[in-house]
A and B are shown apart, each in its own frame.
Chain A
Amino acid sequence: QQQVKQSPQSLIVQKGGIPIINCAYENTAFDYFPWYQQFPGKGPALLIAIRPDVSEKKEGRFTISFNKSAKQFSLHIMDSQPGDSATYFCAASIWTSGSRLTFGEGTQLTVNP
């Protein structure tokens, strides 16, 4: 009930491509879905987050798509750059208990020049 499944485990794209990372959750009580970005030697940092009152949220080149009925959400990176190469984690929580984030397994993204 508490799991968040993330795929793919790794992803390689060419510069300018649009990598898509998918996550699925089981707990219907989850209502806050952040994505974190982690560079080597650094801790994860919040990239973008969505709540289920909208189906899509954009911040710069990053877009979250959310499908409440399917219990799935995904991250799209438009016009990907080599500097986007990092590990991306999706997460989910119940908004009113924000401390308990359930993370996905992570996706290692490589953007080739």
Chain B
Amino acid sequence: ETGVTQTPRHLVMGMTNKKSLKCEQHLGHNAMYWYKQSAKKPLELMFVYNFKEQTENNSVPSRFSPECPNSSHLFLHLHTLQPEDSALYLCASSQDTTFGETQYFGPGTRLLVL
């Protein structure tokens, strides 16, 4: 595996379900990110982790819970989501969070909440 991988690629869940999205980066980076991408809207930064520590939470509802057990893995735990949470969830990584480091994105998980 190379770059940034995300699983699953597609997910359908009901509003009462609990599911998790997984991201793994194979680039030796120290920073990881979750973004939400909705149609015709800018990418929305959700969370940032640097050296496993959360450095940014962009006012994300508590029904989204991130976890970063090490610099290579990032999870997004989902529970009691709403239909408006349906979107493409993108994971990204960079060397660290300073000086304009390039962010490398995974292919995303397409989430549909029924």
Q: Contact residues of A with B, CB < 8 Å?
A: 4, 9, 32, 34, 36, 41-46, 49, 51, 89, 93, 95-106
Decide if A44 touches B105 in the complex (CB within 8 Å).
Answer: yes
The reply to whether A45 and B105 form a contact with Cβ atoms under 8 Å apart is: yes
Chain A residue at minimum C-beta to C-beta distance from B48: A99
Question: With A95-B99, A97-B97 in contact, do A44 and B40 touch (Cβ < 8 Å)?
Answer: no
Known: A9-B40, A95-B100, A96-B98. Contact between A101 and B45, CB under 8 A? yes
Measured CA separation A34–B92 after assembly (Å)? 15
Chain B residues in 8 Å Cβ range of A42 = 107
Find A44's partner among B48, B90, B101 (CB 8 Å cutoff): B90
- 8 CB contacts below 8 A, A to B, read A46-B102, A46-B104, A96-B98, A98-B97, A98-B100, A99-B55, A101-B43, A101-B103
Which one of A4, A45, A100, A106 contacts B45 once the chains associate, using CB atoms below 8 Å?
Answer: A100
* A105 adjacent to B108 (CB under 8 Å): no
